[in-house]
Structure 1
Amino acid sequence: MSPFAIGGIAFLCVFGAASIGMLLRSRLPDHHLSPDSRDAIKLATAVIGTLSALALGLLIASAKRSFDEAGVELRTTAARILLLDRVLAHYGQEAAESRDTLRRLIETRLSQAAAAGESVMDDGLDVEPIQDTLRKLLPQTDAQRWLQSRALQLSGQIAEARWLRAETEAGGFPGAFLAFLILWLSLLFGSFGILAPRNGTVIMIFLVCALSITGALVLIIDMDHPYLGFIQVSDAPLRMALQRLGQP
Structure 2
Amino acid sequence: MNHLVVALIVFIVVFGSALACSYLRAVLPQHHLGDESISMVKLTTGLLATLAALVLGLLISSAKGSFDTTNGEIVHSAVNIVRLDRVLARYGPETRDIRAQLKRNTAASIASLAAGDPAQVTRMAGPEAVAKAEDFQRQVEDLAPHNTAQSQLQAKALQIIDEVYTARWLALLQEKASMPVPMLVVLVLWLAIIFGTFGLFAPRNGTTVTVLIMGALSAAGAIFMILEMNSPLDGIVKVSLGPMRAALAIIGQ
TM-score normalized by structure 1? 0.90
Task: Return the alpha-carbon distance in structure 1 between the equivalents of residues 187 and 105 of structure 2.
Answer: 43
Amino acid at match of 1:71: N
Please tell me the residue identity of whatever aligns with 2:147: T
Q: Which residue of 2 aligns with 1:28?
A: 28
Is the 1:127–1:155 contact (alpha carbons within 8 Å) kept by the matching residues of 2?
A: no
Which deviations, in whole Å up to 9, do the C-alpha atoms of 1:52-83 show, x marking residues without a partner?
11111111111111111111101100111011
Tell me the residue number matched to 1:235. Answer: 241
Distance 2:27 2:71 in 1: 54
Report the equivalent of 1:44: 44
Partners of 2:64 and 2:77 in 1: CA distance: 20
Gaps of 5+ in 1: none
C-alpha distance after superposition, 1:96-120 (max 9, x if no partner): 2111111222234334555x2569x
> Do the aligned partners of 2:14 and 2:195 also contact (CA within 8 Å) in 1?
yes
**Secondary structure of residue in 2 paired with 1:26:** coil
Aligned-pair CA distance for 1:220: 2.2
1:173 to 157, 166, 179: 179
Report the number of matched residues.
245
1:163 — aligned with what? 169
Partner of 1:191: 197
Cα distance between partner residues in 2 of 1:117 and 1:68: 18
Once residues 118 and 76 of structure 1 are traced to their aligned partners in structure 2, the CA distance between those partners, rounded to angstroms, is 23
Moved more, 86-95 or 75-84: 86-95
Change (3 A) 1:168 1:57: same
Q: In 2, Cα distance between the equivalents of 1:83 and 1:3?
A: 37
Distance (whole Å) between structure 2 residues aligned to residue 159 and residue 246 of structure 1:
20
Counterparts in 2 of 1:61-100, with a 5 A limit? 61-100=61-100
Q: Distance in 1 between matches of 2:97 and 2:210?
A: 64
Say if 1:118 and 1:227, in contact at 8 Å, map to a contact too: no
TM-score w.r.t. the length of structure 2 is 0.88
Correspondence for 2:134: 128
Tell me which residue corresponds to 1:5: 5
**Partners in 2 of 1:231 and 1:67 — Cα distance?**
9
5+ unaligned residues in a row in structure 2: which ranges? Answer: none
